[in-house]
Structure 1
């Protein structure tokens, strides 16, 4: 698997890999990249189905994505990265850490999850995601409008209109067939569950959840009990997308953790 990517050599000794969320691409992580650039070289990628990385016509799953990221690092002659993943990107980051820990220094999982442990709940989520994929293909603009009204993103409604519009345009710039296909190949309903592997991850991990995101507070609280070296931060004034809703707090906490504070 090959990724559309951008590597910025800022002359630093460490590189950080940024992984974006669903219905966006690497451009959505530019604000984070700007905060971290004084301290790290920057590697951003478009995950399959978004930006310039295709999903359709390719037989792959979550672990193939992790292997593709490993090969990307080899091609760039990068021996190890710190990694930051948001939401869907957090799930990808966790897959990469679990499968290729020797390539990871420190990890930040923002509103991340190890997947769904229960077979029954996973099957239910597969049906949910299949319905979402169908709606994406039927009327992408209407789907985006509905997506923005989800309770998960209600905390974003108080953000400046310019910020909301930038996010909306990034979402609308995606290709519907590609986004829909990605759900069926590495959505939460089909990806492996990594709950049982958390105890084997010996890398320092920062878990971030927004104070207004009750679902992911619960998920990350449980993760923090299972990971051997985890720090959990609940960010006031934010919901699911912490780096957009509370960028200054996000940047301060992430930099402190990554630099070893």
Structure 2
């Protein structure tokens, strides 16, 4: 069984937002989002398995087990009449989507930042698993070198344009993760090994906000297709941003998310 570390900030609001971080980071990377939302929501920040204070190594689990663990966390902090939203970035978006497919009635809204439902094609899945196994091995062998190569990926080119201090803080947070834990997480719920949720999107009958950066062409295509599959979804292509919208254009991101939450009464 997975035990997820979480921190709850009770702001005395009638809404709660659960924040799920991306790969190679932890709950701290979502802190400024929580700060911007505190005027309209309570904040529940979660460390996903393999990051921060949530363990992965030595535990047998799947993405569905993560969804169940998130449900347990939500119930622990749940209060009567609270409207719960879940916001997930990239890897956290995949976890949030898994949760929404499994427990849609527990959410008042779902916010997906640069997210994907997984890979449908079996050959593509196999190829991605092989890539992720190679990455996991590289992490354990030389973690700083892996972080450098990860930051040099085309997906993250636009992040080099953010404030130097912000970029360095992100690098420091990445380097603070435990290599064998991060590697283990990739093998257990990476994009290749996780289930494909494409055929289940139509069952997520709650308001969905999708955010994708205008410079993130791969995920624009994925999210456009997702938008056609959800019963009630809005796709916002955020101008000037790449994959990590909340890092690259935080004010735009906060405004879009706050407006979505505030209008869902």
Alignment match of 1:168 (pick from 166, 171, 184): 171
Instruction: Give the match's secondary structure for 1:60.
Output: coil
Structure 1 segment 196-215 matched on structure 2, within 5 A:
196-215=199-218
Deviation at 1:75, TM superposition (A): 2.0
Q: What is the alpha-carbon distance in structure 2 between the residues aligned to residue 57 and residue 156 of structure 1? A: 33
Q: What is the alpha-carbon distance in structure 2 between the residues aligned to residue 72 and residue 4 of structure 1? A: 9
Instruction: Give the match's secondary structure for 2:108.
Output: strand
Deviation at 1:78, TM superposition (A): 4.2
Correspondence for 1:16: 17
Alignment match of 2:223 (pick from 220, 231, 237): 220
Correspondence for 2:162: 159
Q: What is the alpha-carbon distance in structure 2 between the residues aligned to residue 146 and residue 104 of structure 1? A: 37
After alignment, is 76-85 or 166-175 more displaced?
Answer: 76-85
Instruction: Give unpaired runs (5+ residues) of structure 1.
Output: none
Considering only aligned residues, what root-mean-square deviation do their CA atoms show, in Å? 0.9
Distance 1:131-1:257 versus aligned 2 partners, 3 A rule = same
Correspondence for 2:105: 102
1:74 aligns with 2:94: no
Listed one character per residue, the Cα deviations across residues 126-180 of structure 1 (whole Å, up to 9, x for unaligned) are 0000000000000000000000000000001111110110000000000000000
Correspondence for 1:112: 115
Deviation at 1:45, TM superposition (A): 0.7
Number of corresponding residues? 261
Q: What is the alpha-carbon distance in structure 1 between the residues aligned to residue 123 and residue 202 of structure 2? A: 23
Instruction: Give the match's secondary structure for 1:259.
Output: helix
Q: What is the alpha-carbon distance in structure 1 between the residues aligned to residue 88 and residue 235 of structure 2? A: 15
Distance 1:29-1:41 versus aligned 2 partners, 3 A rule = same
Q: What is the alpha-carbon distance in structure 2 between the residues aligned to residue 213 and residue 73 of structure 1? A: 31
Instruction: Give unpaired runs (5+ residues) of structure 2.
Output: none
1:177 aligns with 2:180: yes
Correspondence for 1:26: 27
Q: What is the alpha-carbon distance in structure 2 between the residues aligned to residue 220 and residue 158 of structure 1? A: 24
1:254 aligns with 2:253: no
Alignment match of 2:190 (pick from 172, 187, 192): 187
After alignment, is 68-77 or 239-248 more displaced?
Answer: 68-77
Correspondence for 1:38: 39
TM-score where L is the length of structure 1 = 0.98
